[in-house]
């Protein structure tokens, strides 16, 4: 069976790319679309998503995220000098701008974009807080917004409320 023995109690579902590259493993073994109802999840964390799986995954995240729900995404910063430490492994992270535009088309609003980690050294101490856009990791925070209908205006009594002249 592809379901875990016991369902998690509100802790979430952890997924990772399956070893064969087809589908997802973890608490639930599945492929896209995820076996979750639309607008059922209030928080999602994506860590280091590869470019090849990005488009269908972001569409699916937008589908399962409920209105008011949050998405946090971590990406290796492709503009950081630190990329020399991981680029040789074949990693090709998407740009933060591409993810931002793609998720805005899906109805998510950017709440923040932050950069963390070292510029070059392993310790992360070099450079203090200077040059945040060149840090090793970019963290994007999104919120799903939903269009809401404006309700009818309550009916107000019409007429003169002051004392009447006699």
pLDDT interval class at 111 (50, 70, 90): very high
Task: State yes or no: pLDDT of 160 exceeds 80.
Answer: no
Domain spans of the chain? 38-144
pLDDT interval class at 3 (50, 70, 90): very low
**Sheet with 41-47, edge to edge strand ranges:** 41-47, 65-76, 137-144, 108-116
46-68, pLDDT tens digit by residue?
Answer: 988 877 778 899 999 999 999 99
61-100, pLDDT tens digit by residue?
Answer: 999 999 999 999 988 888 777 777 777 777 778 888 999 9
Q: What share of the chain is helix, strand, coil (3-state, %, to 5)?
A: 20, 25, 55
pLDDT recorded at residue 5: 60
7-39, pLDDT tens digit by residue?
Answer: 556 567 888 888 887 888 888 888 889 899 999
Total-model pTM: 0.73
- Three-state SS for 95-137 is CHHHHHHHHHHCCEEEEEEEEECCCCCCCCCCCCCCCHHHCCE
Tokens 């088309």 identify what position?
Answer: 105
**Architecture, CATH, for domain 38-144:** 3-Layer(aba) Sandwich (3.40)
């Amino acid at each position: 069976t592809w379901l875990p023995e016991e369902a998690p109690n509100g802790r979430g579902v952890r997924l990772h790319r399956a070893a064969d590259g087809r589908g997802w493993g973890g608490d639930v073994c599945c492929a896209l679309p995820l076996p979750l109802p639309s607008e059922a999840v209030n928080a999602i964390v994506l860590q280091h998503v590869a470019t090849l799986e990005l488009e269908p995954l972001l569409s699916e995240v937008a589908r399962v995220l409920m209105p008011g729900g949050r998405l946090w995404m971590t990406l290796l910063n492709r503009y950081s000098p630190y990329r020399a430490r991981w680029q040789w492994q074949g990693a090709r992270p998407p740009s933060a701008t591409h993810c931002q535009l793609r998720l805005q088309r899906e109805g998510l609003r950017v709440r923040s974009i932050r950069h963390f980690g070292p510029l070059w050294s392993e310790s992360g101490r070099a450079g203090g807080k200077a040059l945040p856009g060149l840090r090793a990791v970019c963290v994007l925070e999104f919120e799903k917004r939903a269009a809401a209908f404006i309700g009818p205006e309550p009916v107000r009594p019409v007429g003169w409320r002051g004392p009447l002249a006699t």
